[in-house]
């Protein structure tokens, strides 16, 4: 067997491992950790568009790529819209009931490390069957820092205060909903109910993270370029 044949065989095996094992497993994991209703909508749209546009069998790599693209777009739209998240939840959990909340307490902390953002934890009460029940939600709202390298203590405090004022404003304006599972004491707080909110979007956060990763080598290249240029000028 020639070197070219060995290379083609090795490449085919690598493609089979990637597209038949790794990619499906990653895709399955991604579907499981997100609402299944979004994947169902993506699959229906993908099948319809694929049949109408390409008029081919759906069991092909092209269909999978098309489905992945549609699913990514729908996930992104879902991530930036609290109103859609709320509507999706009440549609897929029709037996949950709305309850009135009170005694809200907002606690905002700074998350360091790779996240670098302010996060709000909310403790509240709701009343059902003449009984008050305490509940809490962790990391309900976030205020991301977009600095590439670090944040000063002043910037952290300003970010925390900004997020706390925003959450308190939502509560004051009744811009929230509390849903309760009638079969247990499980509850869910949706705040705010805006059509669009970029600060809580994992899609936006992913794009920002990728941008940071790309900007760091770019700045390193600029520093190296100017250092070499100055070094050449000084040596003349």
List the helix and strand counts (H, then E) for the chain. Answer: 7, 6
Q: Using CA atoms, how far apart are residues 64 and 57, in angstroms rounded to an integer? A: 11
Q: Using CA atoms, how far apart are residues 104 and 174, in angstroms rounded to an integer? A: 11
Burial class (CB in 10 A: 0-12, 13-18, 19+), 200: buried
pLDDT of residue 127: 86
Taking the complete model, does pTM exceed 0.85, yes or no? Answer: no
pLDDT of residue 105: 95
pLDDT of residue 178: 95
Positions of the chain with pLDDT under 50: none
- Please provide the distance, in angstroms rounded to a whole number, between the alpha carbons at the two ends of the chain: 57
pLDDT of residue 191: 95
pLDDT of residue 6: 59
Which one-letter DSSP state was computed for residue 94? T
Render pLDDT for 48-68 as a digit per residue (tens, 0 to 9): 887 777 776 666 677 778 888
Q: Using CA atoms, how far apart are residues 19 and 13, in angstroms rounded to an integer? A: 10
pLDDT of residue 109: 93
Q: Tokens standing for 228? A: 């070499």
């Amino acid at each position: 067997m020639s070197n070219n044949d060995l290379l083609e065989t090795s490449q085919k095996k690598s493609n089979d491992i990637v597209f038949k094992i790794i990619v499906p497993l990653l895709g399955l994991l991604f579907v499981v950790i997100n609402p299944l209703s979004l994947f169902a909508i993506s699959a229906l749209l993908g099948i319809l568009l694929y049949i109408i546009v390409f008029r081919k069998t759906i069991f092909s790599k092209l269909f999978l790529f098309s489905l992945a693209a549609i699913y990514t777009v729908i996930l992104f739209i879902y991530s930036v819209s609290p109103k859609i998240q709320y509507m999706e939840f009440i549609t897929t959990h029709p037996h949950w009931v709305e309850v009135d909340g009170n005694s809200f307490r907002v606690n905002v902390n700074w998350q360091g490390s790779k996240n670098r953002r302010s996060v709000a934890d909310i403790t509240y009460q709701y009343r059902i069957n003449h009984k008050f029940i305490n509940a809490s939600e962790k990391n309900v709202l976030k205020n991301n820092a977009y600095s590439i390298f670090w944040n000063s203590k002043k910037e952290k405090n300003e970010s925390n205060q900004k997020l706390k004022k925003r959450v308190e404003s939502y509560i004051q304006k009744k811009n929230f909903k509390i849903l309760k599972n009638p079969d247990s004491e499980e509850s869910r707080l949706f705040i705010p109910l805006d059509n669009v909110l970029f600060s809580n979007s994992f899609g936006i956060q992913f794009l920002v993270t990728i941008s940071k990763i790309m900007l760091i080598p770019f700045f390193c290249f600029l520093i190296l370029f100017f250092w070499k240029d100055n070094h050449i000028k000084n040596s003349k």
